[in-house]
Chain A
Amino acid sequence: MKTKKIIGEWYIYILMIGIWVIAGLVVPHFRQMSTFMTIIVFSVPLAIVALGQNLVILTGRFDLSVGAILGLSSVIASVVMKNNLLLGILLPILLGTVIGFINGIGVSKFRIDSFIMTFGMMAVCQGIGLLVRDYPGGYIPPGYIKFLLKETGHVALTPLVILIVVLLVGEFILKRTNFGRGVYAVGNNDVIAYISGINVTLIRTAVFTISGLTAAIAGLFLSAVMASGDSTVGSLYPLDSITTVVMGGTLLAGGRGDYKGTIGAVLILTSLARIFNLAGINIWYTYVVKGLLLLIIVAIRMFGAKEGREVAL
């Protein structure tokens, strides 16, 4: 019984190690340290976005606007950083938070469906992003890039640290704070949460605000990786972040899941792209594998779930 529980909680890491071992045996280049570091660097932005997305999904909603906020943040950074580095960091963060807050108010106070609210916000942010910069470019200070992507030996130190910090912060928020418990409670049943004295509106607003904030931070990191600003860079992030959160074991209906599983799924997705790239396989096969993995994992989980849910489709 206990092993079953452990597997249920850590299956995504078992899968990840399995993929890494197979890839290490089949693809010689995969065994290099630099490959591992590339995976880490590309995992960071997705992991940061997925933290906010994870909180939103745990309350039973989702956020489609993360990609557009990410792109907007990167173009604003690319414009402002030329004159003032600090302002170039603070302004995107502030903007992302405000956009997330508007999403949250729309969903919690005005009860607009989160799909519609964040879909509309996605279009608005894409539009503003294109207004600011309609083709990739701009200036990102080399010192800023060097700081974020710093390498000592072959180890990309800062990205690794960021990834670990993000993981710890996410797990801490969810498992050790009142806010985290509130998120689970709202996701499980918002009526009961309301009756037991939890401020549902506040929690819903807060998770969307955090999601906007994390998306903006991911945009800042990504603009360092690209050394430029691009308003369309985030187009894959909404669906990728939802995919990783669900693959990592969080219920789309909310209330159950955690963040460490999401990080595992992020590592798997970025590893797959890298492995296929190194093995010289057509990159589009990663999409097929990604989709199949998502469906198989969810199908197995639903198969294991209690039969009581059978009636409600």
Chain B
Amino acid sequence: MTEIGLKRRNINKDILQAIILFSMLIVIILIAGILKPGFLTSKHLIAIAHDTSIIGIAAIGQTVVILTGGIDLSVGATMLLVDATGAMLLGGQNRITPILICLGLALLIGIINGVGIAFLRIPPFIMTLGMMIILTGAIFIFAKTSGFASPILRYLSVQKVGSIPILVIVWLFLTAIMAVIMRLTVFGRETYAIGSNPIASYHSGIRNKIVTLKVYIISSLFAGIAGLFLLGYTGVPELTYRGGGLGSNYTLSSIAAVIIGGTVFVGARGGIERTLFGVLVLKVLFSILTMMGISQSGQLIVQGAIVMLISGIYIRLERSRF
């Protein structure tokens, strides 16, 4: 098959997937609107978007990592570490140093992850799993459950411009920036190249190790930013240990959002803009279930079934085009 044919086939598939995802979102929202008349008000939809933005920001970094065929299990732990450290250092004051320290911490985690994966050749799953376990221990040893967000952080996370929350604007802005970077810059192309075939990319002169390092740094930084906004959103640090590793609920929903969005582990197909819809589908679904008074157990069952169903549909789509 010629290269152009190959490209066209991929584009068709991409569009089909995007249409499925988008119509799914619309259908879900419409069904919710019929079931509960209060759902379709703009106020409520904006509230959902507001609630989505923190995990949405974390999912941006996760998408970049998954595009290279890797995975970052330390996203949730990084978020909560930044969350707790920020609260501890800020203590309700407007200061810039603690913010920088928090982002520095996230940067450091990203560098360690990246070096371990790229240079020590530890598999991404293991490296970030180990990092998550270490951070879980570290946070409960060093962090105190005291402290507050600074007023500015709180303002940015809670206030609205007109009727749209600032946080949602930040999320959309970051998504747009990263989408452009991934599509139009050399770094973006290199990331896709590594994801689709690391050996080929190596032989065509891409420095796999440097790109991989950068990818994990980006993921950690986005997790750090999400952690700061989480602190601003709730005002106080979230230090509840739910079992299964620190922040694993955030990590898993970020991965689920990427997958529902149609970015796949193998083959570097998908993108940042897809994850935007993935995370929305996930959250809209949850808010509908909450609104319909379905208990936590029912929500878990539906979420699990949806994740399996959607990836099953995508795989079908993929194979029918072979």
Q: Please list the residues of chain A having a beta carbon within 8 angstroms of any beta carbon in chain B.
A: 62, 67, 106, 110-113, 115-117, 119-131, 134, 232, 235-236, 238-239, 242-243, 246, 252-253, 282, 284-292, 294-295, 298-299, 302-303, 305, 309-313
Q: Give Cα A106–Cα B129 distance, bound, in whole angstroms.
A: 25
Contacting A127 at CB < 8 Å: which of B255, B298, B306, B311? B298
Q: Please indicate the chain A residues that have their CB under 8 angstroms from the CB of B319 in the complex.
A: 111
Contacting A67 at CB < 8 Å: which of B125, B132, B244? B244
- Chain A nearest CB from B3 CB (Å) reads 24
A311 near B208 with CB under 8 A, answer yes
Contacting A291 at CB < 8 Å: which of B133, B243, B315? B133
B297 near A128 with CB under 8 A, answer yes
Q: Give Cα A243–Cα B134 distance, bound, in whole angstroms.
A: 13
Fill in one digit per residue for B103-139: 1 if any A CB lies within 8 Å of its CB, else 0. Answer: 0000000000000111011110111011111111110
A-B contact pairs, 28 of them (CB 8 A): A106-B308, A111-B315, A112-B315, A113-B259, A115-B265, A116-B256, A119-B256, A120-B305, A121-B304, A125-B304, A127-B300, A129-B297, A131-B295, A242-B125, A282-B140, A287-B136, A287-B137, A291-B135, A291-B136, A292-B130, A294-B126, A298-B130, A299-B116, A302-B121, A302-B122, A309-B121, A313-B121, A313-B209
Contacting B202 at CB < 8 Å: which of A292, A299, A311? A311
- Chain A nearest CB from B89 CB (Å) reads 20
Residue B245 interfacial (CB < 8 Å)? yes
A127-B308 contact in complex given A299-B120, A311-B199, A311-B208, C-beta closer than 8 Å: no
B134 near A313 with CB under 8 A, answer no
Residue B178 interfacial (CB < 8 Å)? no
Determine which residue in A119, A232, A253, A285 has the highest number of CB atoms from chain B within 10 A of its CB, and name it: A119
The total of Cβ contacts below 8 Å across the A-B interface reads: 176
Residue B96 interfacial (CB < 8 Å)? no
- Chain A nearest CB from B246 CB (Å) reads 9
Q: Give Cα A246–Cα B117 distance, bound, in whole angstroms.
A: 15
Q: Which residues of B283-322 are within 8 A (CB) of A?
A: 295-308, 311-312, 315-316, 319
- Chain B nearest CB from A174 CB (Å) reads 21
A127 near B297 with CB under 8 A, answer yes
B312 near A106 with CB under 8 A, answer yes
B130 near A131 with CB under 8 A, answer no
- Chain A nearest CB from B211 CB (Å) reads 9
A295 near B304 with CB under 8 A, answer no
Q: Please indicate the chain B residues that have their CB under 8 angstroms from the CB of A112 in the complex.
A: 308, 311-312, 315
Q: Please indicate the chain B residues that have their CB under 8 angstroms from the CB of A289 in the complex.
A: 137
Contacting B129 at CB < 8 Å: which of A232, A243, A302? A243
For A310, the closest partner residue in chain B by CB is: B121
For A287, the closest partner residue in chain B by CB is: B137
Q: Please indicate the chain A residues that have their CB under 8 angstroms from the CB of B136 in the complex.
A: 284, 287, 291
A239 near B307 with CB under 8 A, answer no
- Chain B nearest CB from A273 CB (Å) reads 12
For A116, the closest partner residue in chain B by CB is: B311
Q: Give Cα A83–Cα B50 distance, bound, in whole angstroms.
A: 49
- Chain B nearest CB from A49 CB (Å) reads 14
Q: Give Cα A127–Cα B308 distance, bound, in whole angstroms.
A: 15
Q: Please indicate the chain A residues that have their CB under 8 angstroms from the CB of B71 in the complex.
A: 115
